[in-house]
Structure 1
Amino acid sequence: MLNYAIIVFAIAAVGGLLLAAHVLRNKFAPWMLSLLHALLGATGLVLLVTLLAQGNAPQKVLIGFVLMLVAALGGFFLASFHVRKKLPPKAVVVIHAGVAVAGFLTLVSVLL
């Protein structure tokens, strides 16, 4: 289950890089890509919840989940700017990405 979550988050990260590149160049990100990025992130979170609910996941999985959940909340905040047709603050984009990368690396460390 953890392997699948990591794969899903890795694919979401590629979309996130494309989204961030748009915003950092003061352009609106494609809405469909934003939705796909969110859907993949949510899928990864559901996979982690399923793994955690089984009760035998290492502590690092819980830490990675919490980091990814915080990143998801930041993603909702970023999406709210898109809905309002405003560019989000670049600092928030960078923080969102940084928290997501930290969560991803925490999850990957479980496999190493």
Structure 2
Amino acid sequence: MLTYAIILFAIAAVGGVILASSVLRGKLAPWALSLAHALLGAAGLVTLILMLLQGSAGSRLSAALGLLVVAALGGFFLASFHLRKKIPSRGLVIGHAGIAVAGFLTLLSLLLN
């Protein structure tokens, strides 16, 4: 299941880079890509939660999940800007991405260890 979660988050990250590049250029991100990014991230989170419920989790998995949940909350906040047809600040976008990358790398460390 860990591999599936990593794949889901990796694909979501590719979409996130495209979304961030739009916003950093001062444009609204494509809505369809935003939804796909969110759905992939949510599927990854559900996979991690299932792993925790099965008891196959250590502290690093819990830390990765915590970081990725915080990133998801930031993503909801960014989506609220999109719904209002406003462009969020670069700091918010970079903060969301940074927390997500930290969570992803923490998760990846479980696979590589």
TM-score computed with the length of structure 1 as normaliser: 0.99
Equivalent residues, number:
112
Q: Deviations over 1:63-111 (max 9, x none)?
A: 0000000000000000000000100111000000000000000000011
Residue equivalent to 1:31: 31
DSSP 3-state at the match of 2:47: helix
Residue equivalent to 2:95: 95
Gaps of 5+ in 1: none
Distance 1:4 1:47 in 2: 8
Percent sequence identity over matched residues? Answer: 65
Pair 1:104-2:104 in alignment: yes
Deviation at 1:57, TM superposition (A): 1.1
Deviation at 1:56, TM superposition (A): 2.3
What CA RMSD, in Å, does the superposition of the two structures yield over aligned residues?
0.5
Residue equivalent to 2:50: 50
Distance 2:70 2:20 in 1: 17
Residue equivalent to 2:14: 14
Q: Deviations over 1:37-82 (max 9, x none)?
A: 0000000000000000011212101100000000000000000000
Distance 2:77 2:58 in 1: 30
Distance 2:99 2:84 in 1: 24
- Displaced runs of 4+ in structure 1, greater than 3 A? none
Distance 1:85 1:56 in 2: 42
Gaps of 5+ in 2: none
